[in-house]
Structure 1
């Protein structure tokens, strides 16, 4: 089970992620309708306003994450959240669609999703990492669904500009959650790399690239769907925009009942690849249902429900899988590329959704999205099962300098990383059991002065 520190840190960092995502995504289910009130608004510019934050996120995730592999992660997170809050304020004060686009772009400049995930990986043991990442992933999925539920309701109360002010408040509130996360110092092997070499190393890893394609496709489809869907809920299901939250929230709750068991199966029985491919197939199936049955209220809701279930499973699995597959010394960099892919997908999803609104053929629109999902499924078939590490929790030595002690630990075969929490006076030692041999066990016993069960 998670210890108290892991639970507190997981809650705090998941809350930061959730608050950011709530602020970013509450406008998606309402802006294709409410955005028409801005001066200069066109369907294409409305789509750009929805998705442009993804473009600036995609551009800045990698620079932020490269820095986060070398420097303290917390100050970078604070900077990103301040940019996020500023962008919300700019959009809230705008009267034209162009002002909203600028504000959304600034908000996207707070590109710290990867830094938050990397910090969570630092403060959790390997055996508990999947749980923590699953909670993070679920917080993302839940924040999406809650955003789609709250957005229409809040817009009816405070208007679209008020909704942007809410995002600013959420960004500032998220900063306070860092108080619950401990200060950490990371030590690992093979860290002497230049920025370019580090980036090239990560980009050459085939399975990581497939995970990047997966997050790109997932968020492209999600964003496009919620630009394309609201008008159909109004036209074919007879549900007014202010009541769309009453559609999304029950579907969210239902999807969670499927998502949690799926994560348990994937982690406990190491069936991550099978569950992963099944979830993509579920997204394909949901879109196929929408192609042929969008004119029926209940078939439309069924297709949307299938999509939500599969989406939440994917949101929980992807961060966990990425944390297992990424090189330890380049963890934030790999997560930065993944987050860039995520937000680039959201950018293109917003743009594609805006263009789908111009089509006179609704089935063709859903067919285009289904085709993207099928291509994603084909690319993902070559994914291999991820690598599994383990963790030891060791008290810091009283008779040695911490840096000397960590260097001696890292010299032992099979020990991959040591994360020191000086305030708590202990460290997480991350090991690869397949590399630990008898000589390594003896070296570890000699260093610690006692035998450790591995």
Structure 2
């Protein structure tokens, strides 16, 4: 990556993480604050926690399409303003219904796909994956920081203060957008980074991709449902005051990240993705079963939280990688768009059903629901085929017609180690899926150079 691309990726990663930090911070503290809200019930508390996921799921792909027409930065700025407005509404609300409305507004600023599209506008094909990885890492860090900072801010200025802080972060995101993010030369469609309407049918009929969409849906359903009861358990059973629960979350997350790293190395470097994937689901299932029947001590809670978050972190890291491996070469952006929508819909369902499960069965009701969801997921995952270890690479080939595109794709596919090659004349790009242990990207360079030179 050159300096221009590094600057662009860092700025966009900052905007993404600022958004998500504010949305995540209420997870560990909202159940306590909800007791002060008029009309609060377990079901409505769950809805308030997950409501933003519904509007995120429904709007992020349409807003990505809108950015093609109205401009990336305009759509991102509008989304940040809506997030700020929703945060202010939630901060000023004294009823659970007002907070739910505020959370729905927060989710309406669904500009994640637009940020990725702008990232694609600002990076070359061969460096784009690195830039997207920087954004992905920033989201994971935002979640970890939110688990620690949320209780700290709540203890200082209360949960309304968290909503005000979220609004401030949104405005800070506007500053980064217009003060630090470079201007793209032009906005165009990028099949590796954004959804393409013509490819939805292809993606939604792919059983392997649907299996992975189901996986991220269940993972975030379980995560959101868990936060309806985990803070209460830490307080009521573990004796940890709500303002000091960060003392638990910090070491738990640190240990889980440390435990995750060797597992990811085994999955990728040793090509043991399916055993790691299925094993992580099994670990998550075991943690939920144990918590369903036994949650009487702080030590037990902490141990099960470490198991849960280790499995969660492994999944968060491996699922996007699996999407990239499984998706057709020219449909990665569309596959990731559907995947992300499934993730946010899981957040909504986890809050709604988790709240209902708590009203029906208390702690055991929620963990029992999570265990059942994990069990279904385990059966679905156990039947998945072993994923091929394909990497994706893009080469700018310049202006080619349909016949030249087909010939070029055939030449690339003839290289040993290449699984698939698609050349899209409208994009002037060859999308290649290959085995990195068999062929190096150097083998693709002549195709780009040759056709770029011919076009000039």
TM-score (norm 2): 0.81
1:288 paired residue number: 289
Contact 2:395-2:444 at 8 Å conserved across structures: no
SS for the counterpart of 2:28 is helix
In 1, the alpha carbon distance for the partners of 2:67 and 2:278 equals 31
Deviation, structure 1 residue 154: 0.6
Q: Work out whether 1:61 is the aligned partner of 2:63.
A: no
Deviation, structure 1 residue 106: 0.8
Q: Which range moves more in the overlay, 266-275 or 28-37?
A: 266-275
What is the 5 A alignment of 1:262-273?
A: 262-273=263-274
Q: Work out whether 1:447 is the aligned partner of 2:448.
A: no
In 2, the alpha carbon distance for the partners of 1:405 and 1:185 equals 22
2:106 paired residue number: 107
1:412 paired residue number: 408
1:362 paired residue number: 363
Contact 1:54-1:347 at 8 Å conserved across structures: yes
Contact 1:64-1:336 at 8 Å conserved across structures: no
What is the 5 A alignment of 1:376-387?
A: 376-384=377-385, 385=387
Deviation, structure 1 residue 15: 2.5
CA 243–445 in structure 1, closer or farther in 2 if over 3 Å, else same: closer
TM-score (norm 1): 0.82
What is the 5 A alignment of 1:313-392?
A: 313-327=314-328, 329-360=330-361, 362-384=363-385, 385=387, 388-391=390-393
Give CA deviations for 1:221-247 in whole Å, capped at 9, x if unaligned. 111101111111111111111111111
In 2, the alpha carbon distance for the partners of 1:292 and 1:303 equals 12
Give CA deviations for 1:4-25 in whole Å, capped at 9, x if unaligned. 4554444333322222221111
In 2, the alpha carbon distance for the partners of 1:248 and 1:294 equals 17
In 2, the alpha carbon distance for the partners of 1:180 and 1:278 equals 41
C-alpha root-mean-square deviation of aligned residues, in Å? 3.8
Give CA deviations for 1:66-120 in whole Å, capped at 9, x if unaligned. 4467885444333322221221122122222221111110110112223334555
In 2, the alpha carbon distance for the partners of 1:19 and 1:410 equals 43
In 2, the alpha carbon distance for the partners of 1:327 and 1:393 equals 16
CA 443–356 in structure 1, closer or farther in 2 if over 3 Å, else same: closer
What is the 5 A alignment of 1:82-101?
A: 82-101=81-100
CA 419–217 in structure 1, closer or farther in 2 if over 3 Å, else same: farther
In 1, the alpha carbon distance for the partners of 2:176 and 2:426 equals 21
Q: Work out whether 1:51 is the aligned partner of 2:57.
A: no
What is the 5 A alignment of 1:198-237?
A: 198-237=199-238
In 2, the alpha carbon distance for the partners of 1:317 and 1:119 equals 24
Give CA deviations for 1:131-185 in whole Å, capped at 9, x if unaligned. 6555444433332232122112111111221111111111222234443456265
In 1, the alpha carbon distance for the partners of 2:85 and 2:328 equals 34
In 2, the alpha carbon distance for the partners of 1:261 and 1:410 equals 42
In 1, the alpha carbon distance for the partners of 2:72 and 2:425 equals 13
In 2, the alpha carbon distance for the partners of 1:419 and 1:156 equals 57
In 2, the alpha carbon distance for the partners of 1:82 and 1:329 equals 33
Structure 2 unmatched runs, 5+: 413-420
In 1, the alpha carbon distance for the partners of 2:425 and 2:176 equals 21
In 2, the alpha carbon distance for the partners of 1:114 and 1:271 equals 30
In 2, the alpha carbon distance for the partners of 1:324 and 1:251 equals 31
Aligned residues: 432
Deviation, structure 1 residue 293: 3.0
